[in-house]
Structure 1
Amino acid sequence: MKRVQWGVISTADIAQTQVIPAILRSDYGELAAIASRGDKAKDIADRFSIPYYYDSYKKLLMNEEIEAVYIPLPNHLHKQWVIEAAMHGKHVLVEKPAALTAEETKEMVDCCRENNVKFMEAFMYQFHPQHTRVREIISSGEIGEIKFMRAGFSYFLNDRESNIRMNQEMGGGSIYDIGCYCIHAIRSITGSEPVRVEAFAELDPQTGIDRSAIVYMKLENGVNSVFDCSFDMSFRQEYEIVGTKGRITVPAAYRPDVAGNVGRIYIQSDQGNRSECVNGDQYKMQINRFSQAILQGNQPSYSAENTLQNMRVIDSCYQSIESRTVVTLVKK
């Protein structure tokens, strides 16, 4: 069976701990190359038995055997290297957030289309089947009509003096890093887009990045929603949907892999309380889905338009923080 030949641009921790192992576990992908700026790629290639390693990203892109690349570079470098990869004819899976602005994202997406390559943002959490099950429960009417959704993602960030998440020019900040998951989850689970956004942030006095944020969003379908994200709180990764007859709580929404890939869904309703467990290897499923799209000539299930809309909401969050006003989103 043909497998997609993958290259990894960067030796970032997320690549080493999650995505490289996922490519090795995948059914439709094969890890062929890795690149770094410097000599780190050789050590990673040796550890994972990767055939090719390079001391520059461009050298990897010049390898004609490579069909797709995974880009986990710092946020401010996404645009440059997505465009470079597209111009070399490589399909692109880029870490979230796709870029620093929706405008940058559109440039990347347009370039991928012009060069006839596929583009997908690496929101791996969405491929875990627990979220499909949540949508099924909502559709069944068990919790009634949705009225409110809350999402939260936080962890205490250590090594702040050297961590790129604290660097504003490199795309640091809690909304970029983890709030983007909450935005995506609210949009995905409710099936509705935010029309008004009001964001409040605790800015770091030294760097200016948002260490914490709380964001209220009014959705097009009338549902109220709120999310919080923070580098100053203990690890949480949850969402809750409240309806007229009950509620659903998902306590391992974004990183069920840290709990053995098990997603737990708690349902409290007029019919009583119950729970369900759903298993899934979300990183592997992400690689499988993107690889299948390449092999079958289909568009990825997570579209570029969806990525653009998520980035527009991120833009509105930062605009609200800066202006200290409610931001109205114009439908595109």
Structure 2
Amino acid sequence: MKKVKWGILSTADIAQTQVMPAILRANNAEIHGISSLSGKAKETALKFSIPNYYGSYEEMLQNQEINAVYIPVPNHLHKKWVIEAARYGKHVLCEKPAALTVEETLEMVEVCKQNNVKFMEAFMYQFHPQHKRVQEIIESGEIGDLRFMRASFSFNLGDKQNNIRMKNEMGGGSIYDVGCYGIHAIRNLLKSEPEEIKVIANIDPQSGVDLSAVVYMKLENGLNAVFDCGMDMAFRHEYEIVGTKGRVVVPRAFRPDLNDGEGLLLIYSEQGFRNEKIIADQYRKQIEHFSQAVLEDRLPSYSSENTIQNMRVIEACYQSIK
């Protein structure tokens, strides 16, 4: 089977612990090169048996055998390196959030279109089939007409002093880091965009970043939603959708990989209670989906327009805080 040859920009933790192993598990992808500005490219290449390593991102992008790149650099550098990769003719999988503003995202997407390369933001959770199952339950009418959704994603950062998430100028903050998942889930599961947003945030006095936030939304379809996110509380990653006849709770919404890929649905309806377990490798599915889009020269299912809309809501959240 033909495989997409991937290049990795940086030796970031998310690349080494999640995405690179997922590429190695994928049946239509392989890692052809890795680059790092920290001098760790050779060490990482040996660790993952990668044939090529580079001391600069540009040098790797010049390798004409590489078809696609994964970009996990700090948030404020996404725009620069997505654009550079596109100009070198590389298809791009970029870590979330895609950028820091709508303006940046629009520019990135336009340059990718001009250079005829695919672009996708790396919301890996959406490739786990538990969310499709939630949509099937909603469409079946089992929980009645939808009324409300809540989502939560939080973790305890611990050592804040040396963490990039605490640097305002680099795109730090809980909404950029994990709140974007709640926004994405609400928009895509309820199939509507917010028309009103109100945010109450806990701002760190030294760095100016949002340590946590609670976001209230009224959607265009009349539904209400709320999500909370935080870098200063216990680990949670869940959502709940409430209808007139029941509700669905998804307690492993965004990181089921931490439970060996096992997603879990708790369904409460007029028929009683049941749970459903669904196992999948969401990181591998993301890589295989994007790689197949490259091989078949088609757009990935998660569109650039959807990414732009998600960024509009993120930007509105920060405007509400201000």
Counterpart residue identity of residue 228, structure 1: D
- Give the unaligned 5+ runs of structure 1: 323-332
Q: 2 CA distance for matches of 1:38 and 1:268? A: 51
Counterpart residue identity of residue 172, structure 1: G
1:200 equivalent in structure 2: 200
Shift of 1:121: 0.2
Q: Within 5 Å, which residues of 2 pair with 1:1-332?
A: 1-322=1-322
Counterpart residue identity of residue 137, structure 1: I
Shift of 1:159: 1.9
Counterpart residue identity of residue 44, structure 1: T
Shift of 1:182: 0.3
- Equivalent pair of 1:102/1:312 in contact (CA under 8 Å): yes
Shift of 1:38: 3.2
Shift of 1:92: 0.3
Q: 2 CA distance for matches of 1:43 and 1:31? A: 15
Shift of 1:114: 0.3
Instruction: Report the secondary structure of 2:50's partner residue.
Output: coil
Q: 2 CA distance for matches of 1:251 and 1:198? A: 25
Counterpart residue identity of residue 151, structure 1: A
Instruction: Report the secondary structure of 1:162's partner residue.
Output: coil
Shift of 1:213: 0.2
Instruction: Report the secondary structure of 2:154's partner residue.
Output: strand
Instruction: Report the secondary structure of 1:105's partner residue.
Output: helix
Q: 1 CA distance for matches of 2:211 and 2:38? A: 31
Q: 2 CA distance for matches of 1:193 and 1:136? A: 20
Shift of 1:68: 0.1
* Per-residue CA distance 1:199-228 (angstroms, 9 max, x = gap): 110000000000000000101111100000
Counterpart residue identity of residue 114, structure 1: Q
Q: 2 CA distance for matches of 1:266 and 1:47? A: 40
Q: 2 CA distance for matches of 1:57 and 1:297? A: 25
- Equivalent pair of 1:36/1:56 in contact (CA under 8 Å): yes
Q: 1 CA distance for matches of 2:251 and 2:300? A: 27
- Equivalent pair of 1:5/1:32 in contact (CA under 8 Å): yes
Q: 2 CA distance for matches of 1:296 and 1:82? A: 21
- Equivalent pair of 1:198/1:216 in contact (CA under 8 Å): yes
Counterpart residue identity of residue 167, structure 2: N
Q: 1 CA distance for matches of 2:21 and 2:319? A: 38
Q: 1 CA distance for matches of 2:261 and 2:28? A: 20
Structure 1 segments (4+ residues) deviating >3 Å: none
* Per-residue CA distance 1:244-264 (angstroms, 9 max, x = gap): 000000000000000110000
- Aligned sequence identity (%): 65
* Per-residue CA distance 1:109-154 (angstroms, 9 max, x = gap): 0000000000000000000000000000000000000100000000
* RMSD value, Cα: 0.5
TM-score w.r.t. length of structure 2: 0.99
- Equivalent pair of 1:8/1:71 in contact (CA under 8 Å): yes
- Equivalent pair of 1:264/1:276 in contact (CA under 8 Å): yes
TM-score w.r.t. length of structure 1: 0.97
Instruction: Report the secondary structure of 2:177's partner residue.
Output: helix
* Per-residue CA distance 1:156-215 (angstroms, 9 max, x = gap): 002211100000000000000000000000011111111111111000000000000000
- Equivalent pair of 1:41/1:55 in contact (CA under 8 Å): yes
1:329 equivalent in structure 2: none
- Equivalent pair of 1:38/1:56 in contact (CA under 8 Å): no
Q: 1 CA distance for matches of 2:320 and 2:2? A: 48
